[in-house]
Structure 1
Amino acid sequence: MGVFFCDLFCRKCDMEVISDRGESIMKKNILFISNYPSPYRVEFFNQLGAVDEINLTVIFLENPSQQTHRSKDWFNTDYSFFQAVFLTKKISLGGKRVIHPELLSWVKKPFDEIIFGGYSYPSFMWAMEFLKRNKRPFSMEADGGLISEDSTIKYKIKSHFLSMPSKWYSSGRVTSEYLTHYGADASKIVTYPFSSLCQKDLMKKEDLAKKKEESRALLGFSSDQRIALNIGQFIHRKGVDVLLKAIAKVDPEILFLIVGGKPTEEYQEIIEKEKISNVKFLDFMPKDKLSYYYDAADFFVCPTREDIWGLVINEAMAHGLPTISTDRCGAGVELIEDGQSGFVVKTGDVDALAQAIQKISKMDLKAMGEKALERVQGYTIEEMVKVHIRSFMS
């Protein structure tokens, strides 16, 4: 990283710099195009931009203030190690659909690689069509993807755009199957270990028991209480209603902590109808406070109806939690070793979810948690950066 601090103040200088060893380094000029600055992506961009060989520009379609459904505290606005560009001009296409005319001037520039973080935004489609028409290669990064039963027209639209790139970055097997289903060339897919975590965020196996004891004491839970954890938005897609119906069918001695806010009217109705008394709802909280709940829990439940990835799975397993997920969660299918580090059940199946909860609660959770932790060891932002660097330099 020796040349980085010079580069931080000289980003628009010559692309050739001198390393600490006196060697000439030709920097790769990389452009990422993203929707908005999620905190884990900003961390990835900062680490990537800090590498000597990389000169990184990231274009965002939206700034944090436009993400009104998210807390300001959720965002990381430190863009120290890359050039962050926020597009401000918009042309309305009706409804929420807009085109960002400034994007075209950026993709016309001579970057060594242009990477789109998806395809579904009109501005992305427009810029991709321009590059394809002008025979300019570009890449696409897919953090996840699940094959759907599409109508003919929807399949053709997806196939048109997903087959366009000359290279694809995929978060794993499930995403690669999605990409090839819509026309991607399997030989040109680069797989990276998608994560929101840095190496320092991964628990050490020898610390799991101590962390659990300390966190339970801090939060006021007894050492012998069985605790299940769920974290997510209270929207239909996340399947909290399915979880509540499953809770009604399992051992009432298991305490379920559901982090996401105040229960909705629908959730309250299920709780009253099923006479559920072993659920505690908690508001969203900062990452450092949430860590105590991960540490205090015995296992994690993700009842989602659909998540193309689901970073909460990475986070739970990184805290040594055996995890139950549905089969419509990319991370669940990719990371969980069924019966060893957790279970994968059919989405929306209340009985299957209840059976998995009942079964896992009686298993050796310590051994399963260690398996979960082992499984996510390579899933860090540092490893993501290494994969991208190798691809850029090849």
Structure 2
Amino acid sequence: MKILFLTNIPSPYRVDFFNELGKYCDLTVLFEKASSAERDDVWKKYSFDNFSGIIMNGISTDVDKAFCVGVVKYLRMDWDKIICAGVSTPTGMLAIQYMKLYHIPYWIEGDGGFAKSGKGFKEAIKKHFISGAEGYFSTAGEFDNYYSTYGVKKERIYRYPFTSLTEKDIKNAGVRTKSEKESIRKKLNIGEDKVVLSVGRFSYNKGYGKGYDVLLKATESFDKNIGVYIVGDEPTEEFVQWKKEKKLTNVHYVGFQNKKDLSDYYIASDLFAMPTRKDAWGLVVNEALSYGLPVVSSNKCVAALELIKDGVNGYIVPVEDSAALAEGINKVLTGDYDRMCLAAYQSIQDYTIENMAKRHLEVLSEY
């Protein structure tokens, strides 16, 4: 099968997926840009081993998007399937409009999303570009609703397990013993009895996008023996001052960590907090579950809505509700913790890069 895939940048987890998918088909992937201006240099280290990856020349329109007229040249070529994973980028919109005009069949894929009202001029434009594909790859029930809001029939929606983890990653992570956690905590100089971890970028809406203000407000009610570790980029001055003024000595801004070092923080932690105001998916939830960490998330994270069951492997709480977030965290720490950890690990077993590629091939072969 000869497949053309359109996306914005070669993010590490996407390249891993393409390399796996490319083992079983003739795959070409068009990228709008070589990398995102917001990301660390690690994102610029990739290898196209099992597929043909092409970085197109275009006019940059955002940190991770570009307008690439050259995409039309590739759309004119002979393909068995074309998948567009960037319906909101200028290049993706050009590609979809061209394929609509010349009656070229195509598929649409996304990581996730929350639908708006579906009404009004902007929503009509969105509906125009989303509707009309042969089929749609969806990650979750919430994303199914998104597609349906913009005119997609349910029978055209196909689920796939969205992830950044391989089978090996999940096997190597796993639920850790108390002694293993204590050993890593000593290595990281973690002194608190309990550890709450959150991973994300302060550069996303100055920390408010990931809901770190909500997390800090929740932390104000914690005992000092509960440490909160936020791993990502550097905090804004506002969050530095907040910690100082409220004397939150149990809040720690860790900064960027490579994959290996980040693994230590997952191992050392007792649970994962995801107070985001909106995440189309949230791959860090997958990562946390792979280490057997119960997840307490806002109801604006698609990954959490799909993967977390209240009282089983975590809790879903209302967005921007610091009291509910604190309550959810305390429930995990004082409840049947070992059972929740095992349930967390079990809930992520099918979410592998291998299964992600397998599902795509199954759907495309049957359609």
* TM superposition score category, shorter chain reference: over 0.9
Deviation at 1:114, TM superposition (A): 0.3
1:239-388 → structure 2 map (5 Å cutoff):
239-388=211-360
Residue 47 of structure 2: aligned partner: 78
Q: Secondary structure at the match of 1:237?
A: coil
Q: Deviations over 1:297-356 (max 9, x none)?
A: 000001100001000000000110001111010001110011111111111111111221
Please give the TM-score of this superposition, normalised by the length of structure 1.
Answer: 0.87
Cα RMSD for the two superposed structures:
2.1
Which amino acid in the other structure matches residue 285 of structure 2?
I
Given the superposition, is the C-alpha separation of residues 83 and 95 from structure 1 closer, same or farther in structure 2, using an over 3 Å criterion?
closer
Which amino acid in the other structure matches residue 215 of structure 1?
I
Matched, 1:146 2:114: yes
**Contact 2:82/2:106 (<8 A) preserved:** yes
**Contact 1:115/1:139 (<8 A) preserved:** yes
Q: Deviations over 1:134-192 (max 9, x none)?
A: 11110001110112246611211111111121110011211111111111121011110
Residue 29 of structure 2: aligned partner: 58
Matched, 1:88 2:57: yes
Which amino acid in the other structure matches residue 188 of structure 2?
L
Which is worse superposed, 378-387 or 117-126?
117-126
**Contact 1:228/1:300 (<8 A) preserved:** yes
Residue 115 of structure 1: aligned partner: 83
Matched, 1:187 2:155: yes
The CA distance in 2 between the partners of 1:84 and 1:96, in whole Å, is: 17
Given the superposition, is the C-alpha separation of residues 358 and 192 from structure 1 closer, same or farther in structure 2, using an over 3 Å criterion?
same
Residue 3 of structure 2: aligned partner: 30
Deviation at 1:74, TM superposition (A): 2.8
The CA distance in 1 between the partners of 2:29 and 2:329, in whole Å, is: 42
Which amino acid in the other structure matches residue 297 of structure 2?
S
What percentage of residue pairs aligned between the two structures are identical? 37
Given the superposition, is the C-alpha separation of residues 387 and 211 from structure 1 closer, same or farther in structure 2, using an over 3 Å criterion?
farther
Matched, 1:159 2:127: yes
**Contact 1:251/1:358 (<8 A) preserved:** no
The CA distance in 2 between the partners of 1:269 and 1:205, in whole Å, is: 35
Given the superposition, is the C-alpha separation of residues 97 and 286 from structure 1 closer, same or farther in structure 2, using an over 3 Å criterion?
closer
Q: Secondary structure at the match of 2:116?
A: coil
Q: How many residues were matched structurally?
A: 361
Which amino acid in the other structure matches residue 230 of structure 1?
S
Q: Secondary structure at the match of 2:209?
A: helix
Which amino acid in the other structure matches residue 111 of structure 1?
W
The CA distance in 2 between the partners of 1:388 and 1:93, in whole Å, is: 30
The CA distance in 2 between the partners of 1:104 and 1:260, in whole Å, is: 38
The CA distance in 2 between the partners of 1:37 and 1:93, in whole Å, is: 17
Given the superposition, is the C-alpha separation of residues 169 and 95 from structure 1 closer, same or farther in structure 2, using an over 3 Å criterion?
closer
Deviation at 1:270, TM superposition (A): 2.3
Which amino acid in the other structure matches residue 333 of structure 1?
L
Q: Secondary structure at the match of 1:208?
A: coil
